[in-house]
Amino acid sequence: MTYRAISVNPISGALGAEIYGVDLSQKLDDEVIGEIRHALCANQVIFFRDQHLTPDQHLNFGRHFGELQIHEFVAGMEENEEILEVRKEEYETRNFGGGWHTDVSYLERPALGSVLYAREVPTVGGDTMFSSQYLAYDALSDGMKEMLGKMTAVHSARRPYGLNSAYRAQDRSMKILFSENAHEEVEHPVIRTHVETGRKCLYVNGAFTVRFKDMTEEESAPLLNYLWQHAVRPEFTCRFRWEKNSIAFWDNRCVQHNAVNDYHGQRRVMHRVTIEGERPV
């Protein structure tokens, strides 16, 4: 595609591109939104620098791509519950979003994607890594593709948000709502087909995939552990260094991400808007 309204500059061989020539605080016409959507589908995660958004402008941008989700287990901002303030204070050692994962895959309709806006960043550290699950699928052997294509995975929020979560005892600045609802399970295909691109991708992650259908967790563990490691091989990834007022917009249907927790003693505050997706097929 030839872009007329924006400039798209890839940042790695695997995925990721920086977008220039657009001010997201302004009213955006259909052509601009269409080009941004195309850039997202083509690059899987896109980045914007030096954007100055009010909360309402952040919400309005997200709504161009679909309805917005409200997180069931993490409290949103009081004045804008659709905005999740992702915060780590100087005294905290555990961050939110650390470890490779796909957002809210425990839902019947997991997120299409998230728009993460940097309000306050550490002087050093706090990068976010992204991994292409298209490439993870493409690199599998034909035999593995055939086997996984017939399998279903069970996802649940119980590990981070359940009543027995190891995180319950920790003092956190973010309000986590531990709940019996987190123990519910949902089934998704192990190999997902992206509804817009038609490409196949691997769709299991270490945070929320607990087992394969009709198998125990113990039986599932060897193959799941292999897939989790395979999914984030270095050649499938890119790394984004944050600056204040930067934005990352990732396609949650085909990307895993990992908020690197290497900035202890420093404060980091991000605002996240998450867009409703469709049931994986």
Catalytic residue among 58, 71, 87, 101: 101
257 catalytic? Reply is: yes
Task: Report the C-alpha gap between 229 and 256 in whole angstroms.
Answer: 12
38 catalytic? Reply is: no
DSSP letter string over 193-261? E-TTT--EEE---TTTEEEETTS-HHHHHHHHHHHHHHTT-GGGEEEE---TT-EEEEETTTEEEEE--
Catalytic residue among 71, 158, 257, 268: 257
52 catalytic? Reply is: no
Catalytic residue among 87, 155, 253, 272: 272
User: Which residue pairs from 28-36 have beta carbons closer than 8 angstroms and sit at least 24 positions apart in sequence?
Assistant: 28/61, 28/64, 31/4, 31/5, 32/5, 32/6, 33/64, 33/65, 35/1, 35/3, 35/4, 35/5, 35/6, 36/6, 36/249
Catalytic residue among 58, 87, 103, 253: 103
101 catalytic? Reply is: yes
The residues annotated with a catalytic role in the active site are 101, 103, 257, 272
